[in-house]
Amino acid sequence: MTAPGTVLVTGATSGIGLAAAGQLAAAGWTVLVHGRTPERAALACAQLAGNDLAGNESTGNGPAGNGPAGELVPVHADLSALAEVRRLADSIGTTVALVNNAGVFTPSAIAEQRRVSADGHELTWAVNYLAPFALTTALAGRLGAVVNVTSGMHVRAEPHWADPDLVEGWDRVRAYGQSKLALTAFSAELGARWPAVPVTAVNPGYVDTPLVRAAFGGPAGDVSVGAAHVVAPLLGGSPVGGYVELGVRAVPHPLVEDSEGRARLWALTERLLAARPV
């Protein structure tokens, strides 16, 4: 178990992120509760401070008690904009554990709409992969542990080396799968490059989050259970390092175990991040 310290949880205003922030705060961590806007981050902190440690979005009523043991600190950044990601990293002056949870999946209502970030990248790729890569590497030297929230969909995905933004042949499942494959491979490469920092890619399972509702409907599993899988590497409840699925070490996509492929992905990502929007 990692001793409670400070942890940044991205995408912490709803779903798994909100529940994970509550569970970490209950365990005594100081939680930097990330939201896309200051208002959303502050609202999430208020919700958690009101004893809603499981992140119960529908009622706002949590277990009885005296609130979280750890401090809740709102932070904000629009992770679809790389300048905002860099600003967030610059604002953190202490050693933190990092939970890269924020993610998007094109909702069913706009299922055929390919969206683009402020930097010109396909939005799913930008938020689910480029932002975690940029944030994590910008925090080099200030990280005690990293948990990247991935998906079982990464196993069936493929990297699109020549067109990672899927300008040609985009669909929402392909975009999401590729982003989570890249994040999982990044986790393994980061672990190899930073051996002193535990890096775990966690598949929390198919749970009832706003993302899942908007993209697939229901039913889905308990969000607090998914969040527990996410925070387990920090709380001593599951294996640390590698790819962990529902609390058990599992076999990832072959790219994740291919050191040459991971290095190729890292180099590609650095080129994408170095480019500036037109």
- pLDDT bucket at 16, cuts 50 / 70 / 90: very high
Q: What is the pLDDT of residue 276?
A: 65
Average pLDDT over residues 170-184: 98
* pLDDT tens digits, one per residue of 180-211: 999 999 999 999 999 999 999 999 999 999 99
What mean pLDDT is predicted for residues 223-234?
97
Tens-place pLDDT, residues 39-98: 999 999 999 998 545 444 433 333 333 457 899 999 999 999 999 999 999 999 999 999
Per-residue exposure over 129-139, b if at least 16 CB sit within 10 Å of its own CB, e if not: bbbbbbbbbbb
Q: Which of 231, 179, 175 is nearest to 17 (CA)?
A: 231
CA-wise closest residue to 96 among 147, 130, 55: 147
The residue type found at 242 is G
Residue positions annotated with a catalytic role: 176
pLDDT score, position 51 = 56
Average pLDDT score over the chain: 92
Judged against a pLDDT cut of 60, whether residue 231 lies above it is answered with: yes
* Reported confidence tier of residue 116, pLDDT bands at 50, 70, 90: very high
